[in-house]
Amino acid sequence: MSLSSRPPRCAAVAAIGATVLALAPSAATAATQSLAVTSQFVVASSCSTSTTANMDFGALPATLSVAQADATGTISITCTIGAPYTLKGYGLAYGSQSLLYRSGSNFTDSLKYDLAWDSQYAQKLPGATSSGTGTGAAQTVTIYGRISAQTAPSAGSYTDTLTLKITY
């Protein structure tokens, strides 16, 4: 039987065999591919604060007038490296005026005072802000207080509380 007289089925088998040989791997036609895997980690901005020193004007003289008295208080702020932050005094315990009230006086005895972020009192609280950038380490921020000369109130202990808000 000649090739031309073979049944068509044998020719189909021969063609399939040639195709399989063409798809089989050989050392001469090996291929490589490169791909990249991306790694990602997000460091979120964060800040923490604490009061390191309360403002204490000490004992004022019990005379008919009070001379100017200055004091400072400090807070410690620790923020993620590079994180910008803003501190704002947004509330005093006794309203928008800076008043120290005598304990137990039902808000009748007070001393007016000023708070500021700077020693020149150009950036007064509660409205002004203080800004910075985190270093990853604790940073000290000073708040300046001043009782201006005024008529002396009744003897006693006078207090107020400033609430600070940090935005980062």
pLDDT digits (tens, 9 = 90+) for 103-130: 666 677 888 888 999 999 999 888 889 9
User: CA-CA distance, 53 to 74, in Å (whole number)?
Assistant: 5
pTM metric for this prediction:
0.70
As a whole number of angstroms, the distance between CA 98 and CA 124 comes to: 10
Q: Residue 19: in which H helix or E strand, if any?
A: helix 8-23
Return d(Cα 48, Cα 7) in angstroms, integer.
88
Structural contact between residues 48 and 78, judged by C-beta atoms closer than 8 angstroms: yes
Cα distance between residue 114 and residue 98, in whole Å:
6
Q: Per-residue pLDDT tens for 66-102?
A: 778 899 999 999 999 999 999 998 766 555 566 777 7
Among candidates 143, 110, 109, which has minimal Cα distance to 126? 143
